[in-house]
Structure 1
Amino acid sequence: MKLFCRRLFPTTCLLLLALFVAGLVLPAAAAAESVATESPPVALVTGSTRGLGEEVARRLGEMGYHVIVHGRSVERGEAVVADIIEAGGRAEFRRADFLSLDEVRALADGVLADFDRLDLLVNNAGIGSDEDGQLVSVEGYEAVFQVNYLAHFLLTEKLLPLLIDSAPARIVNVSSGAQAPIDFDDVMLEDYEPDGREIGRPYAQSKLAQILHTYDMAERLDGTGVIINALHPATFMDTYMVRRAGIEPRTDVDEGADRVMQLITDEVGSGHYFRDGEPARAHDQAYDADARERLRQISLELVGLED
């Protein structure tokens, strides 16, 4: 500062010294530290205590995100958080069972209360169709439809204001190439009887619902700075769900995570369904505007929200 002052008029030098003492002029190192301490981007990855979600959470931690790890198992969740922190990242665990919409609401409310930004929401949590019989949620809804779609619909709706305030922000819906049309006369599949090829209908219906939701929200979010896309990450990844179904894995989790990260980092537009890293065509029902609106109204009613 002394050397710098010698080159200035005395009055100018005195003014700069006064500002420096007052803290209004920061030295370069302090300015750099101020920028470095800016709050990191925040990402919530549902179903991130194992499999695809865990790998995505780890990668986001390496990228500098503060990662909200979500799942049902506290033990697995805390282990993932510890690994992210050990690798130099930031993370914390939030527990919620998506078979209970009250727990979904509590998860959303906690995020809204504790964070002033949310830059990324990855809707990844999911369960498969169960050959042992039809399961129901706490609310009495078909379990696969609730966990894979309805819980994420509610979570997304609750977090939308924060996502919009944090724009540019992104939503990624992890869907599947397995898609079946929604029977609006029997959304909860009360007349469904698992038999042969139909054994996977609950799962396939829930995954198409995610894509309808993606297309609908892309229109509603136009101009907000929030983009939303869905994808089929990979076929029969080596995950708990695939192994539990007795299916021989064909791909690894890394391949699926690569596809998810593409939608997080690349310029991909909004309102698309991706397969093999490229925009693809989903089931025909996804392009039916009436079907999308009908699903939205049914979903709002089921979760107790108003449009």
Structure 2
Amino acid sequence: MRPLSEQTILITGATDGLGRHLAADLAGRGARVIAHGRDPGKLRELREELGTETARADLAELRQVERLAEELTQRYDRIDVLVNNAGVGFGPDPARREESADGIELRFAVNYLAGYHLTHKLLPLLYAPARIVNVASAGQQEIDFADPLLHEHYDGVRAYRQSKLAQIMFTIDLAEELRGTGITVNALHPATFMDTTMVRESGTTPHSRIEEGAAATLRLITAAELGGVSGHYFDGLRPADPHRQAEDPKARESLRLLSDELIAAALS
């Protein structure tokens, strides 16, 4: 494992909450941090306060995800760690269905599909012993492939939980794809209802401090003993079993096919 001072680490959703805490910690330890966000003002603050490099894109639009990947490929020779952290919560009104710029259910689009596409586009920049960390959740709910984007009987909590399960299913698939390359990919539930803007906007009382979730996430980023661990889901610091659908190869195949179809349609 290369020293942190020699690593380039990309964190999506780095202008607030967990992502910002990770950016500050890693930059403070000498890593070259690329902080992603969509607000130019907040990105400027990060550059000035933390000395991070920045990249701007709205992950709710797949053309911007595509542009972000192309920009990063032009700017950097390698990325040692990719942290797919950006996400949206249940929403202020969980009964109101929202769509991305591409007409895709918003939580599926931002929490899962953007990271799925960005990761695949950036794989040429990842060299062993690179790591991919997907920030998921213990809140997981089975995807109904008859209505995966919840056009019928929409519920924001279910949409969020489905998107987080999709992240874990992607983690397992990608680990199989990358087996033998020295590149690892893992997912985690960092902590329950951390004190973040996302949690507060949902009307939920925070249960955990951001520092708790950051410690679990930083372990997947930096711990030497996890260098050969891939395709796993962690609940905080502990290995855990995800929702049973994540272990179903047919369900993961259905998710891959759906994902590739949605991306192709959005970029056509």
- Provide TM-score, normalisation by structure 2: 0.93
- The corresponding residue for 1:31 is none
Residue of 215, 231, 239 corresponding to 1:258: 215
What is the correspondence of 1:33-112 to structure 2 with a 5 Å cutoff?
40-85=6-51, 91-112=52-73
Partner of 1:182: 143
Which residue in the other structure is 1:134 paired with? 97
Bigger mean CA offset, 147-156 vs 295-304 = 295-304
| Distance across 1 between alignment mates of 2:107 and 2:114 | 10
The Cα of 1:65 is off from its aligned counterpart by 1.6
Is 2:128 aligned against 1:167? yes
1: distance between equivalents of 2:170 and 2:122? 15
Say which SS state the counterpart of residue 200 (structure 1) adopts.
helix
Deviations 1:231-256 (A, max 9, x none): 00000100000000111111111110
Q: What residue is the counterpart of 1:191 in the other structure?
A: 152
Measure how far apart 1:40 and its partner are: 3.3
Structure-1 separation of matches of 2:264 and 2:6:
33
Unaligned runs of 5+ in 1: 1-38, 86-90
Q: Distance in 2 between matches of 1:189 and 1:72?
A: 26
CA contact (8 A) 2:213 2:236 kept: no
Paired AA for residue 217 in structure 1? L
Q: What is the CA deviation profile of residues 191-226 of structure 1, one whole-angstrom value per residue up to 9, with x for unaligned ones?
A: 1333xxxx4000000000000000010111001111
User: Is 1:295 equivalent to 2:249 in the alignment?
Assistant: no
* Partner Cα separation in structure 1 for residue 141 and residue 47 of structure 2: 36
CA distance in 1, matches of 2:162, 2:153: 12
Kindly provide the amino acid, as one letter, of the partner of residue 297 in structure 1: L
Matching residue's letter, 2:30? G
- Residue in structure 2 matching 1:232, options 189, 194, 204: 189
Identity level (%): 49
Q: What is the CA deviation profile of residues 123-142 of structure 1, one whole-angstrom value per residue up to 9, with x for unaligned ones?
A: 00000122251110111000
CA distance in 1, matches of 2:154, 2:135: 26
For residue 242 of structure 2, what is the aligned residue in structure 1?
Answer: 282
Task: Compute the displacement of 1:68 (Å).
Answer: 0.8
Shift in Å, 1:279: 0.5
SS in 2 for 1:263: helix
**TM-score, length-normalised on structure 1?**
0.81
SS at match of 1:47: coil
- Pair 1:125-2:90 in alignment: no
Shift of 1:169: 0.1
Give the counterpart letter for 1:223 in structure 2: G
> Match of 1:216?
173
Q: Which 4+ residue blocks in structure 1 deviate beyond 3 angstroms? A: none
Matched, 1:157 2:120: yes
Letter in 2 for 1:265: T
The one of the two structures with greater contact order (alpha-carbon pairs below 8 A, sep at least 6) is: 2
| TM-superposed deviation, 1:62 | 1.9
Q: CA deviation at 1:162?
A: 1.1
The alignment partner of 1:210 has SS state of helix
Shift of 1:290: 1.1
Deviation, 1:82, is 1.6
Letter in 1 for 2:252: R
If you compute each CA radius of gyration, which structure gives the higher value, 1 or 2?
1
Question: Residue 276 of structure 1 aligns to which amino acid in structure 2?
Answer: G
- The total of aligned residue pairs comes to 257
Q: Which amino acid aligns with 1:218?
A: A
- Matching residue's letter, 2:191: A
